[in-house]
Amino acid sequence: MSDYDTISRREAIQRVTAMLGGFTLVGGTSLIAACEKAQQTAKDSSTAAAAGPQQPIGEFSVQDIAYLDEIADTILPTTSTPGAKAAKTGAFIALMVTDTYEPDDRKIFRAGMATLDEASKKANGGQGFMAATPQQRLTLLETVDKEAKAHMDARDAAKRARDKVGAAKKAADQGANVGAAGAITADTPTHYFRMMKELSMLGYFTSEIGCKQAMRYVESPGRFDPCVPYAPGEKAWAPHA
């Protein structure tokens, strides 16, 4: 991996972080190095697609990866451009969790997959996420996304309070109650859906489909134009990820 590739992936992570509100992505700088392996895995999967089914990744089964594909595709569906499933984002997510997450975060992510499926069954008459309709999936993820935002906002507020001089006890006492999660403090782990959402976006927008179809991509940029006309609704320019 060249220095140019490393910088590009760091830029991609920074952009996704900005879109998600400025939080540091789970996995940190390990995501940069792991992107190289993920891209190779995606190429290998594409080459082997005609030869047989997708392979497990770490502790993620083929069924798990298909499940993650559907979650990502609900977040980033097909519109005028292909969605996250077409970009094989499920395999990317499985690899990132396997290679870059700490054991505790991997447990939270895996438990979150089960929690989301149970939530789907509760909301949709016993239908798990994979059996739910696209609209049912979207409605569920919109609800969970709001819970995740409240969770992360409360944790961020607790961290700010803790960082103030003499406010450590106040940070411990403050917090919010989000569903069954209990009081949110500065040490509360990241919400599982936050992990799913950030990896879905990172995987999609560093894929060939994300770079070349969802965004505008130039293989070899020409001269530097500091002020390029822009019309609302135009695609963003893709980094060299």
Q: What is the pLDDT of residues 34-83, one digit of tens each?
A: 555 555 554 544 433 333 457 899 999 999 999 999 999 999 999 999 99
Q: What is the pLDDT of residue 228?
A: 73
Q: Which helix (H) or strand (E) holds 165?
A: none
Extract the tokens encoding 191.
């919400």
What is the chain's alpha carbon radius of gyration, rounded to the nearest angstrom? 19
**pTM for the full model?**
0.71
Three-point CA angle 101, 87, 99, nearest 5°: 15
**Residue 19 pLDDT class (50, 70, 90 cuts):** low
Question: What are the tens digits of pLDDT across the range 151-189?
Answer: 999 998 888 888 874 544 554 555 544 444 457 888 899
Q: Measured between alpha carbons, how far is 75 from 73 in angstroms, rounded to an integer?
A: 5
Mean pLDDT across the chain = 78
The answer to whether the CB of 152 falls within 8 A of the CB of 189 is no
The answer to whether the CB of 195 falls within 8 A of the CB of 96 is no
For residue 127, pLDDT beyond 60 = yes
Q: Measured between alpha carbons, how far is 43 from 37 in angstroms, rounded to an integer?
A: 10
CA atoms within 13 Å, Cβ hemisphere of 166? 0
Q: In 3D, which of 125, 127, 133, 129 has the Cα closest to residue 117? A: 129
For residue 218, pLDDT beyond 90 = no
Name the range with the highest mean pLDDT among 3-7, 152-156, 167-171, 215-219.
152-156
Which residue matches tokens 């499920």?
90
Burial 96-127 (b: 16+ CB within 10 A, else e): bbebbbeeebbebbbebbebbbebbeeebeeb
